[in-house]
Structure 1
Amino acid sequence: MIIYQIEKTVSVEEFREVLVNSTLGERRPINNHETLSKMLEHGNLIVTARDNGKLIGIARSLTDFNYCTYLSDLAVDENYQKMGIGKELIKQTKLKTPNAKLILLSAPKAVEYYPKIGMIKWDQCYVLDNVEDLK
């Protein structure tokens, strides 16, 4: 039985394992313990999915709980994908921030997934990695 819950703390090791076991690990700093630790420390809404205690899914968000929720990491272990776990993690995140617009940037392999579950695609997104790039 899969249990969904809000968790204040998730270990770096568990977080890393679910990232590695999902396709999201391809785009996250899975070998940088300090960065993973800070990601968990500063994510202020973490929804987990556990199967007999094992972390099999996570939705890590940054939110003000009223205007916007940025769902920055949505990872589901590949052995548990296509079972509705990702959708339920999104649902539980939204239920905790009902007035806030839920925003996420899709991983390339998941671009087709989000419209299927009812999310609306927006083309307006910009990224800045280095402050020196500002003109």
Structure 2
Amino acid sequence: MAISFKVNHPITADQFIGLLESSTLGERRPIHDRDCMEGVVSNSNLIVSAWDNSVLVGIARSVTDFHYACYLSDLAVHGNYQRSGIGKRLQALTQEHLGPLCKLILIAAPAANSYYGEIGYTHNDRCWVLDPGATIGD
């Protein structure tokens, strides 16, 4: 298996949705909202992707300022390609495109929670989420 890795290579919403469906991330993303998925892909400013010929098999999709913080929004690897080092390589290539002081930040899927600690991330329990439709109180 010869996997190629690309940075900011064009990805269609259909390719992205297909990858999410073939990984565990599809169940936690609004894959049936095409407008949302198109916006997700087109508004990310750092996408590292893994390809098996013309098939998208992995993605590290981030929003970043490249200097201080990089939010790794999606890390997905096709189920048939998992446990082959693709996810680690996607993260390493993401890091290579960031400044030396830039932190890589993510919210782990429940099934992947222990994975990140094993590869060098530190746990931070101070994440807060404001859901759509919620109001900020006084």
TM-score bucket (shorter structure): over 0.9
| Per-residue deviation, residues 53-107 of structure 1 (Å, max 9, x unmatched) | 2100001000001111000011100110011111110100011003211100001
Q: Give unmatched runs, 5+ long, in structure 1.
A: none
Query: How far, CA to CA, are the matches of 1:73 and 1:94 in structure 2?
Result: 14
| TM-score, with structure 2 as normaliser | 0.94
Q: Which residue of 2 aligns with 1:102?
A: 104
Instruction: Write out aligned runs for 1:53-132 (5 A).
Output: 53-99=54-100, 100-130=102-132, 132=134
Q: What is the TM-score of this pair, normalised by structure 1?
A: 0.96
C-alpha separation in 2, matches of 1:19 and 1:49: 13
8 Å Cα contact 1:12-1:33 kept in structure 2: yes
The answer to whether structure 1 residue 38 and structure 2 residue 45 are counterparts is: no
Rounded Cα–Cα distance in structure 2 between residues aligned with 1:70 and 1:39: 13
Give me the whole-angstrom Cα distance separating, in 1, the residues matched to 2:11 and 2:134.
Answer: 34
For residues 115 and 15 of structure 1, the distance between their equivalents in structure 2, rounded to whole angstroms, comes to 26
Identity in percent: 45
Which amino acid letter does the alignment assign opposite residue 119 of structure 1?
Y
Question: Greater CA deviation, 95-104 or 66-75?
Answer: 95-104
Q: Which blocks of at least 5 consecutive residues in structure 2 are unaligned? A: none
User: Deviating runs (4+, > 6 A) in structure 1?
Assistant: none
How many Å separate the matches in 1 of 2:117 and 2:107? 13
Aligned mates of 1:44, 1:17 — CA distance in 2 = 21
Aligned residues: 135
Instruction: Give the 3-state SS of the residue equivalent to 2:63 in structure 1.
Output: strand
What secondary structure, in the 3-state scheme, does the structure 1 residue paired with 2:26 have?
A: helix
Partner amino acid, structure 1, of 2:65: D
- Aligned amino acid, residue 17 of structure 1: G
Report the RMSD for the aligned CA atoms in angstroms.
Answer: 1.1
